[in-house]
Structure 1
Amino acid sequence: MNRRDFIKTIGLACAGLTIPAHRRLVANTGGVSEQRRPNFIVIFCDDLGYGDLGCFGHPTIRTPHLDRMATEGQKWTSFYVGASVCTPSRAALLTGRLPIRSGMCSSVRRVLFPDSAGGLPQSEITIARALKPQDYATACVGKWHLGHLPQYLPTRHGFDSYFGIPYSNDMDRVAGEGRQAFWDPKIEYWNVPLMRDEEIIERPADQNTITKRYADEAVRFIEQKRNEPFFLYLAHSLPHVPLFTSDEFRDTSRRGLYGDVIEEIDAGVGRILDTLRKHNLDENTFVVFTSDNGPWLPFNEHGGSAGLLREGKGCTYEGGMRVPTVCWWPGRIKPGVVLDMGATMDLYTTILKLAGAEVPSDRVVDGLDLQPALFGTGPSPRNTMFYYRGTELYAVRKGPYKAHFVTRSAYGSDKPVKHDPPVLYHLEHDPSEKNDVAKNHPDVIAEIIKEVERHRATLIPVEDQLAKRIPKG
């Protein structure tokens, strides 16, 4: 090598070292090498039912943007959450772990409340925290519900910024008569705070405009961070009751107020996707739209629909834990309908793998890597799903079969009913869980029982975060 070639070689090497980490060539992603790390957006609705979107069969709710997203991407028909109520479900998504492992489920209280003293422990590693070593900008917009005290807020769990309501929008109730308050909701009935990072900026939050403002904030974040890799977690406060919508969408849906709310959420999704297209970020951004659990059925027309699935929010039947899910990444993921199983916990592992980040090896991570199904190179690795109610395991799905060891309705005074042998359903033949086939498949039940034993051997007792309360006075 002559002197000129030597200098040229050294110069190119030094130039490569000055390229920011997120601009360097990263690992193969779906068979395509990237020049920068992919962006990630997870849009998480609250109490959206399996049958509440046009692309999942609702006859009168118009969701054109989500329908297009499903056509251009993938519709997952057997996608699950880690629990059938808010707090544990959100913990599962962000940590990739069943809530029984983090203390974010309880036999005492089902979710966190404004008087709760607990929250997501600092020992847990959220998606946002795991992405920080990879130079990701991170933002949480919307409902948090993993602890409202300062030490538990998003900004203490890897998010650069937070804008939203820290718990459910029906908490901090101060006025309104009984259920009538929900049928004719007013902002002043719920004194919920709106926060910017760790400061309350509005109380009560104007819930009529909250869906639009969440979308505004999401678009603003994308605009500001478009030149660097980012992770946006947009967790809508709705359609959890009480239902609110802006003037633009009020009384515009054939499905009434509930439909107005869903159609406004859909419009926000359209704005987000248009922003990605505008800045040529669409082919480098993985977007997932899903829900935290099934519909809150006791609220009648103010609640959603689980479609053909049994029951809804709060229980371990399919309607409580199987959620509508759409994955979108133009030019990268293979469009179509995915019948394989997946879970929100799998988004954790999948996102970290795609980003080139480390999946924690010092703990059990329940999330699996969905890349084979996303990119059409093989089936989903998920073949088993555990259905917890609080700290008790009620049911297990393995392959097409689901065994219920305990059943109980979502709400009310009924007591849990234990089944020995368990009730067994073939979910591919009977997604509505109507026909018990246990007596015909003792071998299946025996294998599922072995799966339970293997699972329980991995559990380590942890502190119950939901039972802790702030002392009065």
Structure 2
Amino acid sequence: MKMKWLKLGFVGFVVALLSVANVQAEQARPNILFIFGDDWGWGDLSCHGHPYVKTPNIDRLAEEGTDFHRFTVASGVCSPSRTAVVTGHFPARYNIDGHFAWVPTNEKRGMPDWLSLDAPFLPRMLTKGGYATAHYGKWHLSNNMIPDSPVPSEYGYDEYGAFNCAGEQMPVHEDADNAIAFIEKSHKAGKPFFINLWMHEPHTPFHTVPKYRWRFPDLEEADNIYASVLSHADDRIGEVLDALDRLGIADNTLVVFSSDNGPARAAKPTKPSLQHDTATGAGFGIGASKGITGGRKGYKSALFEGGIGVPFIVRWPGKVAAGKVDDVSLISAVDLLPTFCEVAGVALPASYRPDGVSQLAVLKGATAPKREKPLFWKFDSPWPAQQGKSDHWVSFAVVDQTWKLVANKDMGYVELYDIAADPYETNDQKEQHPEVVKQLLKKIDAWRKTLPVKPEGDVFSELRTR
């Protein structure tokens, strides 16, 4: 009998050891925090030389990590840009060429009413790999004006609080508190976590708080409003970073800061005035949009670098170099899904064909290899360009190796840039390199033939039948 109890005790001891080992293994897997600003211009950081905006917490990420200057998103506006992040695909593969609006507008533009639930999703892949996943902040892979659209949990997130989605709208300033609570919960459970912290700032309306407006008393009203909302967002980012420090998990957490597209600007001088948004409430309108691109051409909704070239700062102590600037490596938003999966040790599904590639080695300091896959953009821009929006005429763009070609909607007018040597797109070289123009136009045409003619599947609201 004594021997029997000794054997049972030994078995229990082994089970307990294995349980502890499993928890420790889970805790050793890196956490991922993806912070996505909304209309945050490349130049809207004090570490990027902004003349009056102060972003000490994001600056801290740059000091403790690597600042990549050649990152581009997959669109000049939010919904397609966000689609690329969660699917690893060009958004045109889902007929998502503009932002999700109310049903008649989506229908008129040949868009679905939400991103298909059948598309591949980053959170589902990470959940299968043992991660706790959450989304806090802006959604806009549907719209709050479409009540029957899927909510974030249907796409694979364990928990969420969001706005610009169906259902109750999370107050915009509660994003960091919710993220911190989820971090604490996941850490206590011994599970690695992935969190989207998709912030409202600095999208209109500008929801100002007196504390932050008082930080910039000498600025004119529009600049004061703009600086205050960025300062508020930076403080909330700091609260999340402090939570990682407090829990002792900062060294095991990959933190990425970026933006969905470049900064918005009014087409003509506009005074700040109050407006109301059905998802986020009242705040100041486009007259207070004072974002800058750091000299890049164009603004939000443009396919020039000012519209798609955004901040991309990566911190992962001991893995990603601290205090480094990488102004060479070309990284795209479609690379994020395969990169995050490799960070997490999660294999991509056998049937999945990403448009991007993992950039983990590049994040860790390796020289970027020759990019075999071209990058493509599609956006319905007016031609000729509208007054006050001289850089907003591009409907198609391709980047292949060092070349970037931009074209209008019928591809009858193009411009060609050596984007490696000329990131500000000042020297059009189509006359000097007609053979390159011809090759890139063929690549755009071949890519277009792979795209669906119209949305298909369960992606339409019942409001279309009314």
Question: Is 1:343 aligned to 2:332, yes or no?
Answer: yes
Q: Distance in 2 between matches of 1:121 and 1:283?
A: 36
Question: Is 1:214 aligned to 2:175, yes or no?
Answer: yes
Deviation at 1:429, TM superposition (A): 3.5
Deviation at 1:87, TM superposition (A): 0.9
Deviation at 1:216, TM superposition (A): 1.4
Deviation at 1:303, TM superposition (A): 3.8
Match of 1:249 in 2: 212
Please tell me whether the aligned partners of residues 87 and 121 of structure 2 are also in contact (alpha carbons under 8 angstroms).
Answer: yes
> Which digits, 9 at most, give the CA deviation of each residue in 1:196-245, with x for residues without a partner?
xx752x6xx76xxx33x211111121122123110110111221111112
> Which digits, 9 at most, give the CA deviation of each residue in 1:389-433, with x for residues without a partner?
159961112233211122xxxxxxxxx57445x311123443332
Please tell me whether the aligned partners of residues 79 and 322 of structure 1 are also in contact (alpha carbons under 8 angstroms).
Answer: yes
Indicate the percent of aligned positions where both proteins have the same amino acid: 31
Question: Is 1:405 aligned to 2:394, yes or no?
Answer: no
Q: Distance in 1 between matches of 2:227 and 2:445?
A: 43
Match of 1:332 in 2: 319
Please tell me the residue identity of whatever aligns with 2:318.
G
Please tell me whether the aligned partners of residues 330 and 368 of structure 2 are also in contact (alpha carbons under 8 angstroms).
Answer: no
- Per the alignment, do residues 458 and 417 of structure 1 end up closer, same or farther by CA in structure 2, a change over 3 Å counting? closer
Q: What does 1:215-364 correspond to in 2, within 5 Å?
A: 215-226=176-187, 227-253=190-216, 254=219, 255-298=223-266, 299-335=286-322, 336-339=324-327, 340-364=329-353
- Per the alignment, do residues 380 and 46 of structure 1 end up closer, same or farther by CA in structure 2, a change over 3 Å counting? farther
Q: Secondary structure at the match of 2:212?
A: coil
Q: Could you tell me which of 392, 395, 398 is aligned with 1:396?
A: 398
Deviation at 1:365, TM superposition (A): 1.1
- Per the alignment, do residues 294 and 23 of structure 1 end up closer, same or farther by CA in structure 2, a change over 3 Å counting? same
CA RMSD of aligned residues (A): 3.1
Q: Secondary structure at the match of 2:123?
A: helix
Deviation at 1:133, TM superposition (A): 1.1
Please tell me the residue identity of whatever aligns with 2:184.
E
Q: What does 1:98-113 correspond to in 2, within 5 Å?
A: 98-105=90-97, 110-113=98-101
Q: Secondary structure at the match of 2:342?
A: helix
Match of 2:434 in 1: 442
Match of 1:37 in 2: 29
Q: Secondary structure at the match of 1:265?
A: helix
Q: Distance in 2 between matches of 1:358 and 1:288?
A: 21
Match of 2:67 in 1: 75
Please tell me whether the aligned partners of residues 370 and 401 of structure 2 are also in contact (alpha carbons under 8 angstroms).
Answer: no
Q: Could you tell me which of 164, 167, 170 is aligned with 1:166?
A: 164
- Per the alignment, do residues 303 and 382 of structure 1 end up closer, same or farther by CA in structure 2, a change over 3 Å counting? farther
Deviation at 1:441, TM superposition (A): 2.0
Which structure 1 segments of 5+ residues have no match?
1-6, 26-34, 168-197, 407-415
Match of 1:155 in 2: 153
Match of 2:274 in 1: none
Match of 2:141 in 1: 146
Please tell me the residue identity of whatever aligns with 1:313.
K
Which structure 2 segments of 5+ residues have no match?
1-7, 107-111, 267-285, 382-393
Q: Could you tell me which of 443, 448, 455 is aligned with 2:447?
A: 455
Match of 1:194 in 2: none
- Per the alignment, do residues 17 and 312 of structure 1 end up closer, same or farther by CA in structure 2, a change over 3 Å counting? same
Please tell me whether the aligned partners of residues 103 and 462 of structure 1 are also in contact (alpha carbons under 8 angstroms).
Answer: yes
Q: What does 1:129-140 correspond to in 2, within 5 Å?
A: 129-140=124-135
> Which digits, 9 at most, give the CA deviation of each residue in 1:377-397, with x for residues without a partner?
331564632122159961112
Q: Secondary structure at the match of 1:365?
A: coil
Q: Distance in 2 between matches of 1:457 and 1:37?
A: 41
Please tell me whether the aligned partners of residues 294 and 319 of structure 1 are also in contact (alpha carbons under 8 angstroms).
Answer: yes
Match of 1:119 in 2: 114
Aligned residues: 408
Q: Distance in 1 between matches of 2:427 and 2:53?
A: 30
Please tell me whether the aligned partners of residues 21 and 134 of structure 1 are also in contact (alpha carbons under 8 angstroms).
Answer: no
Deviation at 1:16, TM superposition (A): 7.2
Match of 2:82 in 1: 90
Please tell me the residue identity of whatever aligns with 2:375.
M
Please tell me the residue identity of whatever aligns with 1:423.
E
Deviation at 1:320, TM superposition (A): 1.0
Q: TM-score, normalised by structure 2?
A: 0.79
Q: Distance in 1 between matches of 2:156 and 2:163?
A: 18
Please tell me the residue identity of whatever aligns with 2:263.
P
Q: Tell me whether 380-389 or 62-71 shows the greater mean CA deviation.
A: 380-389
Q: Distance in 1 between matches of 2:49 and 2:306?
A: 15
Deviation at 1:258, TM superposition (A): 0.5
Please tell me the residue identity of whatever aligns with 2:251.
E
Q: Secondary structure at the match of 2:326?
A: strand
Q: TM-score, normalised by structure 1?
A: 0.78
Please tell me whether the aligned partners of residues 35 and 257 of structure 2 are also in contact (alpha carbons under 8 angstroms).
Answer: yes
